[in-house]
Amino acid sequence: MRYTHETMPQTILVSRRVIEETVSRLAAEIANDYQGKNLVAVGVLKGAFIFMADLVRQINMPLEINFITVSSYNDGTESSGTITVHQDITTDLKGKDVLVIEDIVDTGYTLCFLLEHLKVRGARNVRLCALADKPSRRTHNVAIDYLGFTVPDRFIVGYGLDYDNRFRYLPDMYALEEYDDNC
Ligand code: IMP
Ligand code: MG
């Protein structure tokens, strides 16, 4: 199965208004839980860049910003991909409260790796905030501490999410149309 990506996606799955309300709700929950703590928000690039920018501006407390760049390469099977860290965080995490900011949790493989990768750096605790969850494709158990919304098993673009690096700039989230190679 492939996706139509030469034309603009047509089906809005989550509108900018719903995204905005969701981001406000998450920011309020996070601010409430982390008051007085040394919060370090770690955005997972590139997908989380827009979500992260909107979220941190609404978390009403001092925090540190950091980014990590990862990619996963599958060698044919979903569960045996290799995660590569292209750009690691440089801050000392000892004794800090780390909140990973991710666009979407799909198989869970990336986050499973990443949460462990950050825990061994000596953080006091590591939690996860994800804008979207696609639980139907999960192969690795991941606890999402702050979740925006659950999405169906569709390929989603917009608001930072891409297909082949396209469509990240769209303010709403769309489901890409599928087409069958055999047709
Ligand atoms: P994982 O399968 O949970 O390891 O997800 C790996 C990464 O794939 C996520 O961080 C996303 O950046 C990307 N991804 C997963 N599902 C989608 C989608 O529907 N649209 C765009 N990117 C996705
Ligand atoms: Mg991502």
**How far does residue 182's CA lie from ligand 2's centre (Å)?**
30
Which ligand has the minimum distance to the alpha carbon of residue 49? 2
Share of the chain above pLDDT 70, in %: 90
User: What is the reported pLDDT for 81?
Assistant: 73
In a domain, 3, yes or no: no
The predicted pLDDT at position 8 comes to 86
Neighbour tally for 144: CB within 10 Å: 18
Task: State the closest ligand 1 atom to the C-alpha of 105, by its place in the atom list counted from 1.
Answer: 3
Q: What is the pLDDT of residue 90?
A: 86
In a domain, 107, yes or no: yes
Which positions ≥6 away from 42 have C-beta within 8 Å? 66, 67, 68, 89, 98, 99, 100, 101, 118
> Could you tell me how far CA 77 lies from the centroid of its own chain?
22
pTM for the model: 0.92
Residue 99 CB partners (closer than 8 Å, separation 6+): 30, 34, 39, 40, 41, 42, 126, 127, 128, 129, 145, 146
Residue 32 lies in a domain: yes
**Residue of 54, 97, 103, 106 marked catalytic:** 106
Q: 104 CB less than 6 Å from ligand 1?
A: yes
Q: Is residue 166 assigned to a domain?
A: no
Q: Return the ligand 1 atom nearest residue 48 CA.
A: 12
Domain count, the chain: 1
Structural domain includes residue 103:
yes
pLDDT at residue 49 in the model = 98
> Which residue positions in the chain have pLDDT lower than 70?
1-6, 73-80, 179-183
Residue with tokens 């955005």: 43
pLDDT at position 180 is 59
Residue 128 located in a structural domain? yes
Residue 174 falls inside a structural domain: no
Domain CATH for 105: 3.40.50.2020
CA gap 163, 13 in Å, rounded: 15
Domain membership of residue 169 (yes or no) is no
Q: Which domain holds residue 77?
A: 17-157
**Torsional class of 38: left (φ above 0), alpha (ψ -120 to 50), beta (otherwise):** beta
